[in-house]
A and B are shown apart, each in its own frame.
Chain A
Amino acid sequence: MTPELVTEATRYQEAFRQATQTRAADEPAWLQTLRESSFAEFERAGFPNVKQEEWKYTNVTPIARTNFVPVLTANGTALSKGADHSGLAPFIYDEARESRLVFVNGMFREELSSKSALPAGVLAMDLRAALRDDEHEKTVREYLEHPVLANGFAALNTALFTSGLFLKIPRGVSIAAPIHLLFVGEGATDAAPPAAFPRVMIVAEENSAATIIESYASPSDDSVYLTNVIIDFSLADGARLQHYKIQRESMGAFHVATTRAELGPSSAYHTTTINFGAALSRHDIHVQMDHEGAECAVDGLYMVDGSQHTDTHSLIDHRQPHCTSRQLYKGILDGKSRAVFNGKVFVRHGAQQTDAQQTNKNLLLSNEAQVDTKPQLEIFADDVKCAHGAAIGQLEDEELFYLESRGINPALARNMLTYGFAGEVIERIKIDSIRRELDDVVLNRLHTDL
């Protein structure tokens, strides 16, 4: 086949045909059926377009037009070539050195990972291996067959994922070391850009507790690749998960992610997402509170510059009484960047005693930056405590004057306030080395040293 004849559709068709052939012997029939229907759904719907309400402000044409090649096998990559894997060093957090699970272009890499800090009984395996295991197949099947967001990206992930992670934290186990899922994107310089479709499932059994770090990084500042990831959390009674997502993809990369969390009775899911990277990023985060007494905190920060575009669609769904949700999302925009925040909080009929608070605040550092924010609170219960708000603005004159009156020059005062604006989210991350890294990124972007 000559490249000129490759159209958008046939490119993914070709990959799907190849994948189907290589997997045929390997995968259960139900999964083959699911993949067929997902791919058919992708072919029918295609990539989302701006005529769809949920994609109104985010044009994914650059993704559709790029000649991505789905990664179906783990290739030898620059990172893994050194015997010491030193290429990974900048992306590893000290606290999770021995509890890290590494993925390169979406493929789980056992030899780059370390599980020695994980207590006995904690399962961390490639999702594909879990599918071949009688003990886990049923759990994985339930999760995969559970409908995800209906869009082309999600359908494509289900059709094409070839690797990922199945992580299970057994009943009553608290894991001290944070578990780091490190996704490294390596764009090819001499070939078509790769597209990764990792799929992750995290099961926290009754009264278990853990901290999950999900980070995206690239050894190159500008390489082109696509990450299209789906990550699911399932929390049983009383389980507590702390989740940090740090998105620092290459500035040439595209990042499309779905995060879902299903909260059991009296469970707690606290998540903080930091978006710094990618030319274009889209994050759908969906927290479903189907049981009483659950609580969640869904926080985030996006800081973009140049021509970056970032889009967060959040849905916090209160379906049962006595649940609490907190949301603080902040944005800092410079250059000609653009951000979208769509935050839905649903309080369903009968979800009495719901306590929900949502805030989105945006700081525009340039006249050319643009933000579209839509907090959306829909309440169908009558005994609830809910509040939401959104703000777009510049730095406060009174705050600037206060700093200046202490001898700090105006440029530094501005940077300090911007740093403080970001800090309100960053300080929620309880892992020192991540906080330091994020502080450094923010200060570096502001060309400031504190």
Chain B
Amino acid sequence: MLEIRNLHASVDGNEILKGINLKINKGEVHAIMGPNGSGKSTLAKVLAGHPAYEVTAGEVIYNGKNLLEMTPDERARSGVFMAFQYPVEVPGVSNAQFLRLAYNEKQKHIGGEELDPLEFKDLLKEKAAIVEMDASFMSRSVNEGFSGGEKKRNEILQMAVLDPDLAVLDETDSGLDIDALRIVAEGVNKLHSPDKAAIVVTHYQRLLNYIIPDFVHVLSGGRIVKEGGKELALELEEKGYDWLKTANGANATAAPQAG
């Protein structure tokens, strides 16, 4: 489904990704772990097409197409979804309006049926149950005045509505208490299927207690320095990240500004 080859990317002239290689097949869940500044959030944003990040080398093939040539909205309509680490507030636009517009844009793209506000309300109700969100959130402005946990749940709700093939979760666990973490993780699990793939970017192992990865990749200094199965996450939890930097000779101080 997704193949990343020798991906280099920079922001404001600082190179953050220094040759990432990654292959993801349908049905797989990949965890990307690593210390602060290792480039893991940058990887998520590059996949979503954030305009502040410049790809300087390499390629990303998504379902046979060059993902990097697609605009962010084209990527989304083609089935790529990034759950934001810091979801943006959009005052004056209701959650329901926003979600219906996004949903219909995707339906247009895939030749599906567009829904009017009433029909969409039913769909939204069904999807909101996945993340245990109350109907009152639908008429409120997108993310405005939402707590940290509500914002993250709203991201997963958007994911549920847009039904992506490839979900990229950028530190979705950050700032969540244990109950919210469980709800969000269970939501992600419910949405997963053998036809879909997910990339879970996280600093801590705890999210991976709920979302069990097939593969764990550890980033450091803009490169993947270690790979393994789900047990690697437990090992990192126990030992921390420092031993990897020295063991693999990666430059631990390469990119302190990347999140």
Task: Mark A residues whose CB is within 8 Å of B.
Answer: 397-399, 401-410, 412-413, 416-417, 419-424, 426-427, 450
Contact yes or no, B93 A420, CB < 8 A: yes
B90 to chain A, nearest CB (A): 6
Query: For residue B164, which residue of chain A has the nearest CB?
Result: A407
B192 contact set on A, CB distance < 8 A: none
Secondary structure call for the A interface:
helix
Partner of B92, one of A403, A407, A427: A427
Q: How far is the CA of A406 from the CA of B90 in the complex (A)?
A: 13
Q: How far is the CA of A401 from the CA of B109 in the complex (A)?
A: 19
Q: How far is the CA of A409 from the CA of B71 in the complex (A)?
A: 9
Contact yes or no, A405 B76, CB < 8 A: yes
B109 contact set on A, CB distance < 8 A: 407
Contact yes or no, A409 B92, CB < 8 A: no
B residues 87-116 touching A (CB-CB < 8 Å): 87-88, 90-93, 97-98, 101-102, 105-106, 109
B52 contact set on A, CB distance < 8 A: 397
Query: For residue A450, which residue of chain B has the nearest CB?
Result: B97
Q: How far is the CA of A407 from the CA of B104 in the complex (A)?
A: 9
Q: How far is the CA of A255 from the CA of B243 in the complex (A)?
A: 73
Q: How far is the CA of A234 from the CA of B82 in the complex (A)?
A: 55
Contact yes or no, B51 A406, CB < 8 A: no
B71 to chain A, nearest CB (A): 7
Contact yes or no, A403 B90, CB < 8 A: yes
Contact yes or no, B97 A422, CB < 8 A: no
B92 contact set on A, CB distance < 8 A: 419-424, 426-427
Partner of A410, one of B71, B87, B97, B101: B71
B87 contact set on A, CB distance < 8 A: 402
Q: How far is the CA of A406 from the CA of B84 in the complex (A)?
A: 11
A423 contact set on B, CB distance < 8 A: 91-93, 141
B68 to chain A, nearest CB (A): 15
Q: Mark B178-221, 1 if CB is under 8 A from A, else 0.
A: 00000000000000000000000000000000000000000000
A402 to chain B, nearest CB (A): 4
Contact yes or no, A417 B90, CB < 8 A: yes
Contact yes or no, B102 A408, CB < 8 A: yes
B residues 144-193 touching A (CB-CB < 8 Å): 158, 162
Q: How far is the CA of A413 from the CA of B73 in the complex (A)?
A: 10
What are 7 contact pairs spanning A and B, CB under 8 A?
A: A404-B72, A404-B73, A405-B49, A407-B162, A408-B102, A416-B90, A424-B91
